[in-house]
Amino acid sequence: MTHTAHATHTNDVHDERAELLAALAEQRRTLLITLRGVGDAQARERTTVSELTLGGLLHHLTRGERVWTAIMTSGDGTTPDGMFDMDQYRMPEGATVAGLVASYEAAALATDAAVAALPDLGATVPLPEAPWAPGEVAHWSARRILLHLLRETAQHAGHADIVREALDGASTTARLGT
């Protein structure tokens, strides 16, 4: 009976990991739909009072995937390069949409591989000290980091949809089935 309970628990953990990664993949896909057919100049264009651009959002989310995966896998609380760099919200000079998409897809694959390799989503790691909370060290589980990535991706996919709609009237929602 104990063996059966353990096997069920193992399947639940596997299913949870698969479900979380599937939800994150869906949000990533939605974001990338927003960028379909966008040229490099359009990706740099501000379309609202916000400073956000499609290229800047994609650059930020790529950085976010890399930073949070490094935090989750290193487990030592060090601050990954560029974590608090506000330029991460801008499309880098000379960057292209195709290059940003390729970088984002590579970062997503690395995140997925790191999550798949984790022995336990409940294991916690120290977070880097944040400039706005000096001396405070929080600990998050890998699960919470993954949920944070999911929230960030969904939030910024929504931002991207608004920026895109203001750019040329394209609606991500209308393009979801395509």
pLDDT digits (tens, 9 = 90+) for 87-144: 889 999 999 999 999 999 999 999 999 999 999 999 999 999 887 778 888 999 999 9
pLDDT digits over 51-102, tens only? 999 999 999 999 999 999 999 999 888 888 888 888 889 999 999 999 999 9
User: How far, in whole angstroms, is CA 49 from its chain's centroid?
Assistant: 24
Find out whether 45 and 167 touch, Cβ atoms under 8 Å: yes
pLDDT at 171: 83
Q: pLDDT for 5-39, tens place per residue? A: 444 444 554 589 999 999 999 999 999 999 999 99
Query: pLDDT at residue 4 above 80?
Result: no
Model confidence, pTM:
0.88
All domains of the chain in start order, with CATH: 37-175 (1.20.120.450)
Phi-psi domain of 81 (left: phi exceeds 0; alpha: psi -120 through 50; beta: other): beta
